[in-house]
Every structure is written in structure tokens, then in C-alpha cells.
Amino acid sequence: MMEIEKSNMWQRRQLATVERIQRDLARYTHPVIRAVGLCGVAYLASWAVVMVQGAGAGSMVVVAAVSAAALVLGAPAFALAVGVERYLRGRLARISG
């Protein structure tokens, strides 16, 4: 059986193309990942304040509720963004490796 090997030029072009795609998509995926991460930090910090101060921290309950709603609504976009990033990083590793 004959084995066909890709030329170095083809691999370099394929690597450059995937890197460009990753860079272009990062404009959309990175803000989503950062926003959901920020909401997660706000959620955890607000609940930490509520646990320490008790029921007197009513405004922090509102912050926790809003950030929890943002987390729930942003979860599908976050999962898609992380999936795209992981796929492209894996593809780059396969091409360059």
C-alpha cells in the first residue's frame, strides 16, 4: 500500500490557516469566557459576603441573583466558546506535532 505524505509547505499553510481561524474566532470566544468568569467571581464573592455578614447583606443577595442569572444564561455560550478553543488548540497540536 502506498502512503502519501503531506509536504512541509502544505503543513505550514494548514498551520497558518488554523492559527488565523483561531485568532479570528478568539475575538468572539475570549470575551464570552471572560464575562462568564467575571460573573462566576462576582457570584462567589457576593455569597461569601452574605455568609459572613448574614441576612444584613441584602444588596449582596441581589448581586448574587443577577450574577447567577448571567451564569445560567451565559452557560451555553461559554460551553460553545470553550469547545471551539479546545478544538482549535487540538487541531494546531496535531498539525504542528
pLDDT digits (tens, 9 = 90+) for 80-96: 999 999 999 999 888 88
Residues 2-17: what's their mean pLDDT?
Answer: 80
Q: What was the pLDDT predicted at 86?
A: 94
Sign of the torsion formed by the C-alpha atoms of 27, 30, 36 and 38: negative
Helices (H) and strands (E) counted in the chain, each on its own, are 2, 0
Q: Over 90: is that where the pLDDT of 29 sits?
A: yes
Q: How many CA atoms lie within 13 A of 19 on its CB side?
A: 9
Residues 66-70: what's their mean pLDDT?
Answer: 88
Residues 36-50: what's their mean pLDDT?
Answer: 86
Say how far apart CA 78 and CA 30 lie, in whole Å: 9
Q: What was the pLDDT predicted at 58?
A: 74
Say how far apart CA 16 and CA 30 lie, in whole Å: 20
Q: What residues contact residue 74 under an 8 Å CB cut-off, 6+ apart?
A: 32, 35, 36, 39
